[in-house]
Amino acid sequence: MASLSAQTLQEQIDTALIGATPTAANPLTITLTPGTYQVTDSPAISLFNVEHVVLDGTGVSIVIEKDQDWTSAIRFEECTNIELEGPVINYDPLPFFEGTITSIATDRLSMVVDMVPSSEPVPTGVFGDTYDGVFYPKRISRGIVSNSSDGNLKLGSGTRYVTEIAALGGSDYELTFKNAANDTMAVGDLFTMPAMISAGDSHAIALEKCKDLYLHDMTIHSSPGLAIHDQRSPGGNSYERIQIVPAGTNGRSVNAGGIVARQSEVGPSIKDCTISHLGDDGVAVHGTIIKVITGAQASNKVTIETRLPFRTTYTAGSSVRVYKVDGSTPPKVGYSNPLTYTLAADALETVTGQFKNPSQGILTATPWQYELTFTSNVTIPAESWIQDLTHAAPSFFIENCTISNTRARGILARGDNGTIFNNTIHHTAMAGIMLIAEAGSGVVFSGEGSVSENVLISDNDLSQVQWGQPLNGEDAVGAITTIIADHDWGFRGYDGITITGNTISDSVGPYIQLQSSRNVTVRDNDFFDHGQLTSTRGSDYSINNMALIWTRNVSYVTLGTTNNIYNAASGSINRDGDGQAVQITTESGAFVRH
């Protein structure tokens, strides 16, 4: 461990805390010595159960050097009322590879990339793991293709999933894909990909069960995983003027998402942040929704399962909402009004899963299983969904952020009573703004996500979104989207969504998709260039890509005055849908074409 200071950052903080008794009214201010701090295989700052401290890191540069494994730069656990200002975070070696595409195979199942030199060796061979004597292939995901001219995400280029890498000599490597790259990727394009299959919990800033944090005026240049992971917060966390951007001419900042708040009792406030060139969503705020595998008939216990190892937030006293299935085959979720129950005890882990994630090419997975105990007897069929209302990130606020060049969405929001206001979002592979519960075909896969109610989406500027086709499916449609990723979901759970004052331009497919929603208002938006960019997205679901607004399974939607439409393509229409609609009201003058 080396630094330009006589003491490490951790030593400076620990020394200042000795004998200190800070309070909310009189917090302890610790001014960290400016300089570059190089730390190997461990966080530069790690705090547990610390409260009422101001950390002034102005002029501090943290470089995490990997020897054995990737790690977080800063980690707080169960901390309260901490302010952190100023540090710049980077990794050495960078946790990703980048280079220029020099050739593409005729079948488009492989390509050669001239990699930028890195002290991290490029992994070679066929990726996978052996379980019980059986080899299961994996893939390095989140590979991104960008324009060499401006570094922006390339229109019509999909995510690359790499299953094998071969060294060809010098800085040339042949990359083999899981599927043929039948898109716009071309020789001369830039390509970036993570240096690992999974970063685990190695996020630049990892926060666990912290409240009333204020992180501001800092920069994150790279991360093996997320930039900021805020998990299980009781609430009150704020993020302002945070830059999550590549250093210098690098083509990527972080491998996964930017600011991600998961399973909070109260959602965060995220303002005036700049987030660009990353491997997943710019901002994500969500709770937890999990599938029931063993139901209850006049009993107080059920068993739930999740395929991802996120720690469950289902705790004693938590309020949960149950979306029951009907009796059809396969069962359909939510064909009766959801019921709300209270848990009598913390969730009991009955099966410890093994992280063999199907999304990375693993053929089988061992899910985590938990037993839930209610305060009274319940009747809940297997295959129902249970949403944790207590930890669903309500009252989140995302304002004045600039988000660009994301491999997935700009903003992914899953919580109640939220506001998404005055953000600028451009060059996203998928939706600019999406409300989604993480499910598909009636099955909850990941154990994350929740259904949103009372969300205001206002005065945002979206352009060049839905840019990374040929992703196909309902969750890859709409610049602004509400979706359950299962159009047969009976209960229209998204309730009280207002979409107003937004500007959408130069984007692919429908500009707004409303699915499984009720009590939605769309008014006073400006739409430019609709239909000028064609797409095959959503064709599996017969979505009309020439519809400005696409609806499926909705009720009580008001298309209000005045939505202005400029420079639309011939064939552009105002609205289309699947016919599953109850009372769509189109006010006089709702759409004005210029």
Pick the more confident residue, 121 or 25. Answer: 25
User: Average pLDDT of the chain?
Assistant: 87
pLDDT at 539: 56
Cα of 94 vs its chain's centroid, Å: 21
Residues in the chain: 594
Q: Report the SS3 class of residue 522.
A: strand
pLDDT digits (tens, 9 = 90+) for 342-358: 999 999 988 887 655 44
Stated as kind and residue range, the H or E segment containing 10 is helix 9-17
The lowest-confidence range among 8-17, 394-403, 496-505, 569-578 is: 569-578
pLDDT at 498: 98
18 CB-contact burial (10 Å; exposed 0-12 / middle 13-18 / buried 19+): exposed
Inform me whether the pLDDT recorded for 282 exceeds 50: yes
Banded pLDDT at 38 (limits 50, 70, 90): very high
- Give the other-Cβ count within 10 Å of 137's Cβ: 15
DSSP state of 106: T
pLDDT at 337: 79
Inform me whether the pLDDT recorded for 9 exceeds 90: yes
pLDDT at 387: 84
Q: What is the 3-state secondary structure (H, E, C) of 242-296?
A: EEECCCCCCCCCECCCCEEEECCCCCCEEECCEEEEECCCCEEEECCEEEEEECE
Q: What is the rounded CA–CA span in Å between residue 245 and residue 220? A: 7
The lowest-confidence range among 1-10, 106-115, 325-334, 492-501 is: 1-10
The lowest-confidence range among 74-88, 100-114, 152-166, 193-207 is: 193-207
What's the rounded mean pLDDT across residues 530-558? 80
Q: Nearest to residue 213, comparing CAs of 372, 408, 54, 430? A: 54
CA distances from 247 to 92, 121, 159, 259, 277 (A): 12, 20, 22, 18, 11
- Domain segments of the chain as ranges: 2-91, 96-194, 229-287+393-593, 289-388
Q: Tokens 């950052």 belong to which residue?
A: 9
* Cβ 432 vs Cβ 291: under 8 Å: no
Dig out the tokens for 160 from the structure: 């690359």
Strands 289-294 and 283-286, sheet pairing: unpaired
pLDDT digits (tens, 9 = 90+) for 99-133: 999 999 999 999 999 999 887 889 899 887 666 66
Strands 259-262 and 110-115, sheet pairing: unpaired
Pick the more confident residue, 535 or 511. Answer: 511
Banded pLDDT at 364 (limits 50, 70, 90): very low
Q: What is the CATH code for 96-194?
A: 2.40.30
Q: Which residues contact 134 (CB under 8 A, 6 or more apart)?
A: none
What's the rounded mean pLDDT across residues 178-194? 92
pLDDT digits (tens, 9 = 90+) for 464-484: 998 876 444 566 678 999 887
pLDDT at 131: 63
Q: Nearest to residue 506, comparing CAs of 563, 562, 425, 436? A: 425
Q: What is the rounded CA–CA span in Å between residue 173 and residue 105? A: 13
Q: Report long-range pairs for 311-314 (Cβ below 8 Å, ≥24 apart).
A: 311/231, 311/232, 312/288, 312/347, 312/349, 312/368, 312/370, 312/447, 313/232, 313/263, 313/287, 313/288, 313/388, 313/390, 313/391, 314/288, 314/290, 314/343, 314/346, 314/347, 314/370, 314/372, 314/386, 314/388
Inform me whether the pLDDT recorded for 444 exceeds 60: no
Pick the more confident residue, 7 or 197. Answer: 7
pLDDT at 114: 98
CA dihedral 395, 400, 405, 408 (to 10 degrees): 10
Pick the more confident residue, 478 or 559. Answer: 559
pLDDT at 258: 98
Q: Tokens 């396969």 belong to which residue?
A: 330
Q: Which residues contact 181 (CB under 8 A, 6 or more apart)?
A: 104, 108, 109, 111, 158, 160
pLDDT at 391: 84
pLDDT at 132: 66
pLDDT at 358: 42
Angle at 155 (CA atoms; ends 277, 175), nearest 5 degrees: 70
Q: What is the rounded CA–CA span in Å between residue 122 and residue 115? A: 9
